[in-house]
């Protein structure tokens, strides 16, 4: 019986690592390219004190948003899965916030229950806010019939 409990624990841990890895990959794919050296006039240097990796530094284009910083920081490590970025005064920095306000600033990472949401409630990306999909109230699923319908579309005939 003990071995069954251990096996269950290992399976749960494997699922957690797989979920965290998918989240890390999604963040990595959304992380923009770093500006080239000849583009430094249009870039912003951001430093982040990561909870386990120390101080990290990277350049971003000045027109980018904090969502890019969240994606970059989240792509570096599996843990913490959810986090917040704060300024020197402890103010939460939200993903839609422009980076120009944070030029040459050190941000602080804090573990959280969820990563802050994007402004648009219609759009949700893996790694921002709640990652569960809830169907609309008027959405209903009909059971699948054993036999195909007589007409698939109005103009179709058998």
Question: What pLDDT shows up at residue 136?
Answer: 46
Residue 45 tokens, joined? 């240097």
Chain-centre distance of CA 122, in angstroms?
15
Question: What pLDDT shows up at residue 127?
Answer: 54
CA distance 89 to 23: 29
Question: What pLDDT shows up at residue 126?
Answer: 53
CA distance 151 to 45: 61
Task: Point out the residues of the chain with pLDDT beneath 70.
Answer: 118-144, 148-158
Number of neighbours of residue 86 by Cβ within 10 angstroms: 15
User: In terms of residues, how long is the chain?
Assistant: 158
Question: What pLDDT shows up at residue 125?
Answer: 56
Q: Give the three-state DSSP class for 106.
A: strand
Question: What pLDDT shows up at residue 137?
Answer: 47
b/e 19-53 (16+ beta carbons within 10 angstroms → b) = ebeebbebbeebbeeebeeeeeeebbebebebeee
Show the domains of the chain with their CATH numbers.
Answer: 2-111 (3.10.20.90)
């Amino acid at each position: 019986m003990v071995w069954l409990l251990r096996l269950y624990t290992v399976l749960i841990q494997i699922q957690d690592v797989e979920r965290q890895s998918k989240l890390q990959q999604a963040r990595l794919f959304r992380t923009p390219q770093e500006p080239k050296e000849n583009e430094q006039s249009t870039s912003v240097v951001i430093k982040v004190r990561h909870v386990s990796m120390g101080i990290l530094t990277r350049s971003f284009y000045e027109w980018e948003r904090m969502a890019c910083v969240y994606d970059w920081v989240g792509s570096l490590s599996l843990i913490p899965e959810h986090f917040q970025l704060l300024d020197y005064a402890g103010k939460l920095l939200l993903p839609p916030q422009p980076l120009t306000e944070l030029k040459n600033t050190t941000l602080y990472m804090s573990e959280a229950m969820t990563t802050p949401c994007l402004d648009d409630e219609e759009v949700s990306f893996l790694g921002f806010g709640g990652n569960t999909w809830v169907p609309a109230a008027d959405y209903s699923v009909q059971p699948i019939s054993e036999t195909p319908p007589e007409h698939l579309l109005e103009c179709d005939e058998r």
